[in-house]
Structure 1
């Protein structure tokens, strides 16, 4: 059986909620990427903006398994200012090339999910097997279970394919 794990970053708890919900639906273990320095209050907001605009790589903490120990990684990250959240970008800069295969979920309040997926693909050096873009409101209102269930099924189908090079990227919703 394939070893599938969920790796997420969340500042406000929305991506965490999506990761925990997917874990409860799938049984996959969850591992968190955390800020080395917490982003509380107005100062934390300012750091988010500057890190995104300047494409900085902030320090992070990750205590999960090495990504090359997993057969398939589900990356869950928020979108900041229409791009990938800086801590997940920093994590993927150092760890992304270890990923054998992956799928991605981006949580956003508005727009920028596809741009964040492009960021992930660039840092990982390959395209995801499937993607899901979730609106923050749907996650917080607990109205994303159907999408997460379809994503789980699609991930299971894609995880077992050796030599996957599908020209069409499957997306949910």
Structure 2
């Protein structure tokens, strides 16, 4: 069984809430991304917009264990302007060599999750094992809970397989 790390960036607290719930369900380790500059107020909002549109990599601090020590990393990130939030983009770019097996949970107002998953795939050079998305409204009213539990179970099942078996299973050479 491989260990799982959940890494989140949360500007409003919604992504952090989901990440903590996921860790509580499975007993997984949590890592948090924080920005070195505040996003409060109108200027902070404009920085969110510009970071998304220009795909910028803002300066971050990461508080958690190295992703390389885990067999699976679950990235929990908000969507800004139909794109991956800048701080998570910075994390993925910094640790892309350590993200061999990862899953993605996107938190959004209404849309944009496929764009974020595709962007993470472009940065890392491969697709996530699993991905899902929740709206902020689903998190607020609690209706995301059953889907999160099913997602956690699916991740847990993928980590039950030995590393070498799973690698061969997904390899194009194994066919």
1:97, distance to aligned residue in structure 2 (A): 2.0
Residue in 1 that maps onto 2:170: 165
- State the distance in 2 between where 1:140 and 1:17 align: 10
1:166, distance to aligned residue in structure 2 (A): 8.2
Residue by residue over 1:22-68, the C-alpha shift from the partner in whole angstroms, topping out at 9 and shown as x without a partner, is 11111111110111112111111011011111111100010211111
1:155, distance to aligned residue in structure 2 (A): 0.5
Residue in 2 that maps onto 1:31: 31
Contact 1:74 1:103 in 2 (8 A): yes
Q: Does 1:123 align with 2:119?
A: no
Spell out structure 1 runs of 4+ moving beyond 3 A. none
Question: Which structure 1 segments of 5+ residues have no match?
Answer: 168-173
Residue by residue over 1:83-107, the C-alpha shift from the partner in whole angstroms, topping out at 9 and shown as x without a partner, is 1001100111111221131111000
Question: Which structure 2 segments of 5+ residues have no match?
Answer: none
What SS does structure 2 have at the residue aligned with 1:133? strand
What SS does structure 2 have at the residue aligned with 1:126? coil
What SS does structure 2 have at the residue aligned with 1:30? strand
Residue in 2 that maps onto 1:56: 56
**Which structure features the higher share of helix residues?**
2
TM-score (norm 2): 0.90
Q: Note the 1:1-173 alignment, pairs <5 A.
A: 1-161=1-161, 162-163=166-167, 164-165=169-170
TM-score (norm 1): 0.91
What SS does structure 2 have at the residue aligned with 1:100? coil
Pair 166,105 (structure 1): closer, same or farther in 2 beyond 3 Å = farther
Residue in 2 that maps onto 1:171: none
What SS does structure 2 have at the residue aligned with 1:12? coil
What SS does structure 2 have at the residue aligned with 1:87? helix
**Larger Rg computed on CA atoms:** 2
Contact 1:97 1:125 in 2 (8 A): no
